[in-house]
Amino acid sequence: MGEQTQIQTKTETPPQPQQQSLPNSDDFPQNPSNPSKIPIRPQKIRKLSSSTPQSSNGKETTKNRRKTAPKSNRVLPQIIKPLTFNGEIDNALQHLRSVDPLLSSLMDTLPPPQFETHHSAFLALSKSILYQQLAYKAGTSIYTRFVSLCGGENAVCPDIVLSLSAQQLKQVGISGRKASYLYDLANKYKSGILCDESLFKMDDRSLFTMLSMVKGIGSWSVDMFMIFSLHRPDVLPVSDLGVRKGVQLLYGLEELPRPSQMEELCEKWKPYRTAGAWYMWRLVEGKGSPTNAAAAPIDGGNVHALQQIQTEQETQQQQQQHQLQLLEPINGIENLGACIWSQ
């Protein structure tokens, strides 16, 4: 019994902690460069000493590359030269002559395009709204009375328009619907969604997006604004009746070209499709006779008179846009149209 008790006592005695925690140095390869007996894996040393930190999936390296990307690789905003810029009209005519022999023959009988509008963007957009669905003479009469009510063309601004009542606008011949369009335009200026500085510096796509938010302004109105107020060089109003009729006459088509056909036929005019559209209006004015067309200079007013037939299509498009705006309210959109270029 005494021996059994002694054996059990020895067996139940736990081993010393020092003997379990310390490994035998013979179990690991020796590292002569490291006096410590604790093993160090060479692979980890290479990772830690790498000059470019890198995660297992490589995302960290990509992030570092982006931070150190040279500024010269960044895309700079495109500078848009209007047709009124020195030499741009000559560049446009030279290009159109080189790519379209039929248009070149027409250009020989007509004077070069002229763009001399100096109105503010807000006034030009207000004028576009007032002329909708009206003959040129009637539109001019209402526009003149509207300007007089505001105190002159230089006085037409968002604050003045918002100060006028619907009854005052009605007395000068402006319908209730057009009054709501003017108020919507003025409110978007007042809130900062739109401003003259940003409109003059936006690219064509952004202009269409921002101006289409205004009640009463559709694609045709945006095209006219870009052509006659901003003098943008590459605008093709594919829904404009005059331009479509001109293309039909120029190329001897049996029917009016559809918008998709207009894009295809006038593709070669890029990047000066505005000048090409200008010649189409002149061609239609002369009813297919270049000699007669050269006799009557074109301006923004004549263009409005030429587009009376197509205003119904424009109105339908605007009504669809208004319905979409009612169904899908815009939240926080004022940040998109802020005057980021204003000084």
* Mean pLDDT in residue range 256-278: 96
Q: What percentage of the chain carries pLDDT values higher than 70?
A: 60
What value, to the nearest 5°, has the Cα angle with vertex 59 and ends 55 and 62?
120
Residue 182 banded pLDDT, cuts 50, 70, 90:
very high
133-139, Cβ contacts within 8 angstroms, sequence gap of 24 or more: 133/311, 133/312, 133/315, 134/308, 135/305, 135/308, 136/301, 136/302, 136/304, 136/305, 136/308, 139/304
Backbone torsions φ then ψ of 120, nearest 5 degrees: -70, 160
**Which CATH number applies to 87-115+231-319?**
1.10.1670.40
pLDDT number for residue 104? 97
The domain locations on the chain are 87-115+231-319, 116-203+213-218
Helices 121-131 & 219-228 angle (0-180, nearest 10): 130
pLDDT number for residue 44? 52
74-83, Cβ contacts within 8 angstroms, sequence gap of 24 or more: 78/203, 80/203, 80/232, 80/233, 81/233, 82/115, 82/230, 82/231, 82/232, 82/233, 83/113, 83/115, 83/231, 83/232, 83/233, 83/274, 83/275
The reported pTM is: 0.62
pLDDT number for residue 334? 26
The answer to whether the Cα torsion of 339, 340, 342, 343 is positive or negative is positive
- In the predicted structure, residue 254 carries a pLDDT above the cut 60: yes
- In the predicted structure, residue 94 carries a pLDDT above the cut 60: yes
- CB of 140 within 8 A of CB of 172? no
User: Which position has the higher pLDDT, 12 or 337?
Assistant: 12
- CB of 87 within 8 A of CB of 233? no
- In the predicted structure, residue 250 carries a pLDDT above the cut 70: yes
pLDDT number for residue 41? 56
- In the predicted structure, residue 110 carries a pLDDT above the cut 50: yes
Mean pLDDT of the chain: 75
pLDDT number for residue 316? 45
Instruction: Give start and end residues of each alpha helix (H) in the chain.
Output: 2-12, 17-21, 42-48, 59-67, 88-99, 101-107, 121-131, 136-150, 158-163, 166-171, 176-191, 196-201, 204-211, 219-228, 241-251, 259-265, 273-285, 290-293, 300-306, 311-327
**C-alpha span between 132 and 78 (Å, rounded):** 33
Least confident of 59-68, 206-215, 218-227: 59-68
User: Nearest CA to 210 among 334, 52, 38, 39?
Assistant: 334
User: Which position has the higher pLDDT, 54 or 217?
Assistant: 217
Tokens of 59: 């995302």
42 Cβ contact list (under 8 Å, min separation 6): none
pLDDT number for residue 25? 47
Any idea of the CA torsion for 62, 67, 68, 69, to the nearest 10 degrees? 80
CATH topology of domain 116-203+213-218: Endonuclease III; domain 1 (1.10.340)
Q: What percentage of the chain carries pLDDT values higher than 90?
A: 53
What value, to the nearest 5°, has the Cα angle with vertex 57 and ends 56 and 59?
115
Predicted confidence (pLDDT) per residue in 122-171, tens digit: 999 999 999 988 888 999 999 999 999 999 999 999 999 999 999 999 99
